[in-house]
Structure formats: structure tokens, C-alpha cells
Chains A and B, each alone.
Chain A
């Protein structure tokens, strides 16, 4: 049985590289204020009165999302029906956990901080999915080796 939503296995490694690089880039840009991609700067302040004068954080965000998608949606080396079931389980767990975190955030976090929650929330479902899926595979392999 083939899964039409999966990329081939080699995209997983590419995804890790892209996600790691853009995560580091985003961190340096947003939290430490470095200007990584100066050629993406433009002069005017646009869109309401937010000081949006460079496209580089948008580029890093897109690359991070694409990288995470590549990791989450690429096949394992030996892709079989058991792996697909584990992946489906991880999807359900990730969506549920993400929703619980979001519900708690709605209750506990307000104002500008909630905007940050929504920003992080762009990536949390995928991060939770990847973490859960690889944990389950790791646990499975460990049990198999112990037998």
C-alpha cells in the first residue's frame, strides 16, 4: 500500500538541514537582532505601523515550515503499514496535545503575549508530531532489540 502524501526518504535529511538552518537564522534575527539577509531589506515602513522593514524573518519562517513539513511527510527507510499506523497515531496525539496547550494558553495568557503564543503555534503541531513519531519509532526499536 502506497501513501500518496509521503515524499521519499531522502527528503527527511534535507528537511532536517533546512529546518535547523532556518531555526538558527530565525533565532539570530528575531531574538538577537542580527541582520542575516540584508539584501531582503526595504526602505519604507509598511502595513499598519509595525516596523516591518525586512523580508528575512518571513523567509526564515517559510523555510522552517517547509523543513518541518519535509521531516514530517517523508517516508522511513523501510516504510510499511505498521509505520503508517504509528504515524497516524502520532498525528492524532500531536493535534490533541496542541489543542490542549492552545486551550490552556487561551485561558492563561492575554494581550500581546497571546500573539506570541499564536506565533509559536504556527510550528508546534509539526514539532509535536515529529517528536512523538520519532519517540514511538525509537521506543519500538528499543523493545525489539531487547527481545
Chain B
């Protein structure tokens, strides 16, 4: 047992810190904290900045132009990036599609799509969930029927994150309805400019446009856009899920969030004293911090196993559940800390056209509190995660 990072790891952390300090502007930090919204351009610029340094494709093998960081390095970067309020890396192309292409894609697909993900030429979104297929993803109904050199796709995807910016979508589609649900699914790459595709915004409860519905009406997709084999899509999707799960615990986000809560508690006054001296509020903060300290170590235990080559299994589900509970609790603390200034809905202030209504730190606390209810819903809801844990651990 040794809780310390190695000298190399510490040097790496220092390098990351210096880089972030130089590259993340104050404006970008404020936006990433939620005091204003990140534009598509902001996100693309941040990708370009990382790509220039060779730090964009962190988990890709070197032969595909990646940094080939191990799990500890990725963890260090994620922690530092969250603490620095750097914009997050948009995962759809880089962390979700790319590992699938690298493992199951054809040489042509790898040569064509991977460089375009790095350069930012393509923005990918994910076509998984459907109105009737959420937690029960395998029941998806969007259909792809072979017609000569094409598949003809009909159906609807939903909760498509940042689909409004995307020019490509990777989809799970049903190619065989006569077999067990999981065995009739294929993995298709679809150009969003193809006739028959319509993207409609879904406005979330905090007023943001983050997710979309995507409709497919006789959309013709060339057969060479099939990844791997027909009807093997479920296998690829499951592989993708194991790779999606870096940073699943969101330790860095929680640490940054807790810092913000303490900053707020120092500034807010209650009964003539700073809120940070209020025992009831601070008991809540302490409780979360204690949970976070333990989870952070759980996370490192799993990260170092992964660095040694073992794939995270049920532990990832545990981290997802505990990590989201902690993040949501911190969102709740921030909302409480803001007092009456949690009530304004200052969309113009969030858009950056106006001064904040109360203290700057209060602007986004309530929208974030509500928006981050999604953390325990998406990417396999916490109920689904608990089901997985029970199933694996009880050996049922």
C-alpha cells in the first residue's frame, strides 16, 4: 500500500497544471462553471488546443494518433481539468465511437473517420435511446432494411446530446426482427446531411438546448457505413460502454463543486455570520466531503487496476451510482448556499449579455441543480446500475 503518486505521475500532473493554467482563459473558466454557456466554437477551439498538444485523443493507441495514456494519467488530467474549470472534452467521437472503430471498424473506416475526429472536421453524436427504448435499450425499433448497396433507415432516436452541432451520428438500428432482441441490432454510421433526417430540439427544464430528437424517414445509408458485421451491433455497443466509463465517478467535478460551495459559504452571510461558520450548513458540506474522500480512493483503486490492464466491470456501476449521488448532493448544497438568489432565472445573464443579478456564483446554481438530475438518469440509470451490481454479485 502506498497512497502517493509516483514521481513520474507527479511530474505529469505538474505538466498538465501548467498547460491548463496557460490555455484556459478566464472567460472559458466562467463558461465552464456555468456562469455563461459554451458555444459550439468554444468547444471546437478547446478540442483544437488539446489536439495541438497531442492530448485530445487520450485513450487512443499511438498508431491512431492518440496519446495512449494509461488510466492513472487520464485520471490525473480529468481531475486537473475539472479543478481548472476547463471545458470538458466532447466524448461522442473521441471516447465512444473511436474505440469501436479501432476494434471493429474496417481499415477504410479507421483511415477515413479517425483523423477527422482529431481535426474536428466531424462532430459525432450518439443515436441510441428511443422514445420506447430507454433503460430497455435492446427493445429499440429504428429499422434498417437492406436495399441494394444501401440500408434504408426509418425511425426515431431521442436524447441525442449536442445533435444540433453534429454532422454524423452513430446509430444502433434493428436489422433483424425475428431473433432475440439483442441479436438483431447493427451499428451504422450516418451522415446527418442525408435527405430524410430531421433534428428537433428538446428544451430541458433549465431552459437549455442540449438534447434533441432525430427522425429518420427513408434515409439511405451506404452499406460500407456498417461497422463490423450485421446484427453484431449489441456486442459493439457493450464494448463502447466499457470504454465510455472513464471518469465515471466525476471526482474532479465534485472537488471543483465543493470548492465552489465553500467559496460561496465564505461570502454568504447568515444571522450576521459567514455561512461557513454555520454548523448546520457545514455539517452537510462535511458529510459530502467525507463521502468524496472515500470515493476518490475507491476510484483510484479501480483506476490503478485498470492501469494494470484489467477492465472495470461491476465497479464502474458502483462508481456511477456513488459518484452521481455525491455530485447531485453538491449541486443541492450550492443551491442552498445561494439563498434567495437561487430563485432568479437569468437566462440573459447566463448568455453573457448582462451582469449577474446577485453574486456571480449564484447565477447557475438552480439551473445546474435541475439539469444535473440527468446524471442519475442517463448512461444507464442508477436503477439499471444497481440491477447490474446485484446480478453480478449475487451470481444470478
Asked if A and B are interacting partners, one says no
The residues of A with any CB-CB pair to B shorter than 8 Å are none
The residues of B with any CB-CB pair to A shorter than 8 Å are none
